[in-house]
Structures are given as C-alpha cells and as structure tokens.
Amino acid sequence: MAEECIFCKIVRKEVPSQPIYEDHDLIAFPDLHPVAPVHILVVPKEHMQNLNDAGKNDVGILGKMLRLSAKIANEKGVAETGYRVVINNGEDGGQVVPHLHLHLIGGKSLAHQLG
C-alpha cells in the first residue's frame, strides 16, 4: 500500500469508485474519464508501479486481470463486438497513475487506432 497513491486510496475506500467487481486480489471500477462507452479499470489491490515491478509471484495476478477483463467484457455486452485491453507503462507508455492497472475499452470501433 502506498500512502498517497490514488488507486491504493480507492482500494482502501478512502476515495469512492463504484466498483463493479472486487475480490481479495482485484478491484474493477469505471474510469473517471471514459474514452468509450465501456471503459473499466482492472486494478490489483497490491501496489505495484507497473509491469516492471511484476515478479514471478505476480504471474497469477496478471492472469486474473486478463480473465476478469474477459468476464467483464461479457457482462458489459462487448465480448462479441470486441474490445481492447491496455496496460500503459511509464512515461512513454502514457501511464499517469503509478499503480498497475489494465484498461478494458469497448463499445465502439477502435480498429486502426493504436496510440
């Protein structure tokens, strides 16, 4: 847990987020500034800055993040139409919040858009 990290604060319920899923390891909630009709953040509860911090012991969590994304995509009705999962890492990757998170984005065509 990082004291001042916004996503750690969401995990601790110090900042509201309207979670759509939560378990021992993960929390998922809508992005504050959605870029598509479906834009959900899937966040490990344990603070890691980004994939650079993920070690051998985190392989399970990373897999759970992907599996949960597919489950939420299904629940949100975009599994068939398609969706994108994105993890921004570091400055050039466009990462703004320094707590590992996955963006699940769907509900509109993202074809031919990367970056």
Continuous segment of H or E residues that includes residue 42: strand 38-44
Among 49, 51, 79, 95, binds ligand 5GP (CB under 6 A): 95
Out of 39, 45, 99, 101, the only residue in the binding site for Zn ion (CB under 5 A) is 99
- Selected range binding ligand 5GP among 26-34, 52-60, 69-77, 104-112, rule: CB under 6 A: 26-34
Sign, CA dihedral 71-67-41-29, equals positive
Q: Which of 8, 17, 27, 73 binds ligand 5GP (CB under 6 A)?
A: 17
Which position among 60, 77, 82, 94 is part of the footprint of ligand 5GP (CB under 6 A)? Answer: 94
> Which of the residues are catalytic?
101
Nearest of 110, 23, 109, 35 to residue 71 by alpha carbon: 23
Contact between 32 and ligand 5GP by CB under 6 A: the answer reads: yes
Residue 104: Cβ-neighbour burial (10 angstroms; 0-12, 13-18, 19+) = buried
DSSP-assigned letters across all residues of 63-82: HHHHHHHHHHHHHTT-TTT-
- Please identify, among the stretches 38-46, 61-69, 81-89, 96-104, the one whose residues bind Zn ion according to the rule CB under 5 A: 96-104
Residues lying near Zn ion in the complex (CB under 5 A) are found at: 2, 5, 7-8, 47, 99
